[in-house]
Amino acid sequence: MPLFRCSICGESFPGILVGQNAPVGFYATRFIEAASPEEAEAIAMERLRAEPTLDVPAGFRTEDARVLFEAIVEVNPHTERGPESGFSFFISGS
């Protein structure tokens, strides 16, 4: 099955995720085995929703938070693969 590198950007998440008062965003890369780019996006989104790091307490959730897939590229599984977790957070200018 093909391997896809998904470059993901989250925007306008509650700053409580990283101890900030201001909204935050994040960048993440996920490597997903899937039959198509569309399936890779769906799987990556499902896995992000299950990430404890992004679990926002109910009282802090907002309607503004969103996730964008900046690129979904098929890669060679023998030469490219990275960690399956981790985020780079930034202060968001919602």
- Convert the pLDDT of each residue in 70-93 to its tens digit: 999 999 988 887 777 899 999 986
- Convert the pLDDT of each residue in 26-66 to its tens digit: 999 999 999 999 999 999 999 999 999 999 888 888 889 99
Bridge partners of 11?
A: 66
Instruction: Taking residues 13-21, report their average pLDDT.
Output: 90
Domain coordinates in residue numbering, the chain? 1-55
Give the three-state DSSP class for 21.
Answer: coil
What kind and span of H or E run contains 53? none
Average pLDDT score over the chain:
92
CB within 8 Å of 69: residues ≥ 6 apart:
6, 7, 8, 41, 44
Asked whether the predicted pLDDT for residue 94 surpasses 70, the reply is no
Strand-by-strand arrangement of the 24-33 sheet: 66-75, 3-13, 24-33, 88-91
Bridge partners of 69?
A: 8
Say what the pLDDT of residue 78 is. Answer: 87
